[in-house]
Amino acid sequence: MSDMKWTVLVDNRTNNPTLQTEHGLSIFLETERYRILLDTGASDIFIRNAERLGIDLSTVDYVFISHGHSDHAGGLKHFIVINKKAKIIVSPDALSGKFFSKRRCLHSITTAGPEIPSERLLPIEQSGWIADDLYVIARIPQVHPMPKGNQYLFAQNADGTYIPDDFRHELALYTDGLLFTGCAHSGLENILAATPLPVNEVVGGFHLLDGHESEDELRELAYRLTDSYPQTHFHTSHCTGDAVFVTLKNVMGERLQAFSCGTFSFSQMNRSATASSFHLSASLFQPFRRS
């Protein structure tokens, strides 16, 4: 792995009261070659948080949209106003699909679409390299268990009927040892199995909501991850539940870390360090807050 830095712009949680939170995910990734925005959160909060963190989003080269849900793609319409050059890596199904959640009550989680100029789109329908050092994983085979929290998620047919979401609109992005999973609706193990490259770091939500997978299922998953991927470190938040995190952490130890809004991670050659802004200026911030 060469020099790389990622910074969380939007997450459900933060240690830093100067940043705004929402139910959503957006991460700014700098590699030696590219500046990449990984998802855009639900609103324009990622832009305001980037300003507070001194990140200039007008220089982003690629935006990666992991799937069609509004908590990941909702900020795209704001992004294309402030950035006039970045290519948008997305599944065509994410832009055309109608998505709903039946959690608590039926509600739309379709992204209210921006009209994106076609020359800015990089529509992805199959796995492959899209640029030097950028590999996209698409149509992820569902051979390992899927997250049970997916049971609430539906897509709507043209005739208005609801069908369980099959997540054909989900992509994962790999660059230089880092694998970004978005929400990992397709299942973290399925995404890893579909990635034909060595993964040093997994970053993203795992869509393991509290109260769905049993403690035993979570522990077994954690053992399979640590055994099958002995070189890999895992970073999660967003749609990974607090209790789920503790259960996984008890097995995975230092191999599993939580991030939140404002967390950054810097890797240089083989040395790697993860910190959050909380550690840098602890006196400025409130105790850790979980929403």
Site residues (CB under 5 A) for Zn ion, limited to 182-221:
183
Torsion sign across C-alpha atoms 170, 113, 63, 42: negative
Rule CB under 5 A: say whether 13 interacts with Zn ion: no
The full DSSP string for 88-102 is EEE-HHHHH--EEE-
3 phi/psi in degrees, rounded to 5? -60, 135
* Smallest separation, CB 45 to Zn ion (Å): 14
Q: Among 64-72, 156-164, 210-218, 281-289, which window interacts with Zn ion (CB under 5 A)?
A: 64-72
* Smallest separation, CB 238 to Zn ion (Å): 6
Site residues (CB under 5 A) for Zn ion, limited to 128-187:
183
* Smallest separation, CB 2 to Zn ion (Å): 29
* Smallest separation, CB 11 to Zn ion (Å): 10
CA distance 233 to 225: 10
HSE at residue 174, side-chain half, CA atoms within 13 A, is: 19
Closer to Zn ion by Cβ: residue 69 or 235: 69
Nearest to 13 by CA among 245, 262, 204, 200: 262
Site residues (CB under 5 A) for Zn ion, limited to 235-254:
239
Locate all alpha helices (DSSP H) within 22-164, ordered by sequence: 45-52, 70-73, 76-82, 92-96
| Assigned token pair, 216 | 């035993």
Closer to Zn ion by Cβ: residue 124 or 183: 183
* Smallest separation, CB 246 to Zn ion (Å): 20
* Smallest separation, CB 121 to Zn ion (Å): 20
Site residues (CB under 5 A) for Zn ion, limited to 33-52:
none
* Smallest separation, CB 25 to Zn ion (Å): 6
Nearest to 26 by CA among 66, 86, 82: 66
Element (H, E) at 188: helix 188-193
Rule CB under 5 A: say whether 69 interacts with Zn ion: yes
Q: Among 12-20, 48-56, 62-70, 169-177, which window interacts with Zn ion (CB under 5 A)?
A: 62-70
Closer to Zn ion by Cβ: residue 183 or 248: 183
Q: Which of 22, 39, 71, 176 binds Zn ion (CB under 5 A)?
A: 71
The full DSSP string for 131-157 is ETTEEEEES----SPPPGGGGGEEEE-
Q: Among 67-75, 76-84, 166-174, 215-223, which window interacts with Zn ion (CB under 5 A)?
A: 67-75
Q: Among 63-71, 156-164, 242-250, 270-278, which window interacts with Zn ion (CB under 5 A)?
A: 63-71
SS3 call for 276: strand
- Report how many residues bind Zn ion under the rule CB under 5 A: 4
Angle, helix 242-252 to helix 215-228, in steps of 10 degrees: 50
Q: Is the separation of the CB atoms in 102 and 152 below 8 Å?
A: yes
* Smallest separation, CB 204 to Zn ion (Å): 9
SS3 content of the chain, % helix, strand, coil (to 5): 25, 30, 45
Q: Among 5-13, 31-39, 135-143, 232-240, which window interacts with Zn ion (CB under 5 A)?
A: 232-240
Closer to Zn ion by Cβ: residue 31 or 260: 260
Which residues of the chain form contacts with Zn ion (CB under 5 A)? 69, 71, 183, 239
